[in-house]
């Protein structure tokens, strides 16, 4: 590797970073908190509102199934969230759920989904940005298929400024070139009022 005309270490670092990213997405939704983030969807969910729901539990809006999500379901989730969170709120869902929501119309027959005005701009739903997270469920019993909220206030991510660290090692085992890698990342809910979820019951 020291004499290669190809930046093998750079390539390997990019590959490792991508793998870390995929793992992080899983942890941020379903991590158990043991040497990893405590995933958003691992927190207990209840239909109780903010005034009576214990801290640390997320409020859910129930729907019979993913195919049963209607414009009114999304409107309920939107206004269940306190106005102080709505101004910075975003929708989070899988591409599968998004594909179904793009077909929804309001009572006037207008589509409630709006594609981004530019290539890099996110689509919007009821005026708020939509972001795709493929580790979100697509349906099933007691599955949170959509999350809506101010995630900057609701879910805190600790991501060390060093990012992915690589430490080449060609000394400990002659004839082999090892690359030790690590990254420090953690996360968890810090304001359970700031995020709502739409949960399928079947």
Residue 102 has pLDDT above 70, yes or no: yes
Given the structure tokens 């414009």, which residue do they identify?
Answer: 71
Q: What is the pLDDT of residue 173?
A: 73
Give the three-state DSSP class for 186. strand
Given the structure tokens 């589509």, which residue do they identify?
Answer: 111
Given the structure tokens 């101004």, which residue do they identify?
Answer: 87
Tell me the C-alpha distance between 14 and 83, whole Å.
Answer: 41
pLDDT by residue (tens digit) across 2-50?
555 666 566 666 665 666 566 777 888 998 888 788 999 999 999 999 9
Q: What is the pLDDT of residue 5?
A: 62
157 in Cβ contact with 131 (< 8 Å): no
Residue 85 has pLDDT above 80, yes or no: yes
DSSP string of 169-181?
ESSSSTT--EEEE
58-63 vs 155-159, strand pairing mode: unpaired
> What number is the average pLDDT over the span 91-115?
94
Q: What is the pLDDT of residue 157?
A: 82
Tell me the C-alpha distance between 85 and 193, whole Å.
Answer: 9
Q: Where does residue 143 fall: left (phi above 0), alpha (psi -120 to 50 degrees), or beta otherwise?
A: beta
31 in Cβ contact with 39 (< 8 Å): yes
pTM: 0.79
pLDDT by residue (tens digit) across 106-164?
889 999 999 987 888 999 999 999 999 999 999 999 999 999 999 999 999 877 656 66
Q: What is the pLDDT of residue 180?
A: 64
Residues 6+ apart with CB under 8 A from 2: 170
């Amino acid at each position: 590797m020291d004499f290669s005309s190809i930046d093998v270490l750079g390539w390997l670092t990019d590959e490792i970073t991508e793998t870390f990213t995929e793992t992080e997405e899983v942890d941020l939704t379903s991590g158990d908190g043991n040497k990893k983030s405590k995933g958003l969807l691992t927190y207990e969910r209840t239909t109780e509102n903010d005034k009576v729901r214990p801290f640390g539990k997320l409020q859910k809006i129930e729907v019979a199934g993913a195919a049963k999500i209607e414009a009114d379901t999304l409107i309920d989730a939107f206004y269940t969230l306190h106005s102080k969170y709505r101004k910075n709120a975003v929708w989070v869902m899988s591409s599968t759920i998004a594909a179904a929501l793009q077909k929804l119309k309001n009572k006037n027959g207008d589509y409630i989904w709006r594609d981004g005005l530019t290539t890099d701009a996110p689509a919007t739903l009821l005026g708020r940005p939509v972001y795709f997270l493929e580790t979100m469920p697509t349906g099933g019993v007691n599955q949170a298929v959509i999350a809506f909220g101010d995630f900057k206030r609701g879910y805190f991510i600790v991501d060390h400024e060093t990012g992915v660290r690589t430490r080449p090692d060609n000394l400990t085992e002659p004839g082999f070139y090892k690359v030790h890698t690590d990254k420090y990342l953690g996360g968890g809910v810090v304001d359970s009022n700031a995020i709502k979820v739409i949960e399928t019951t079947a």
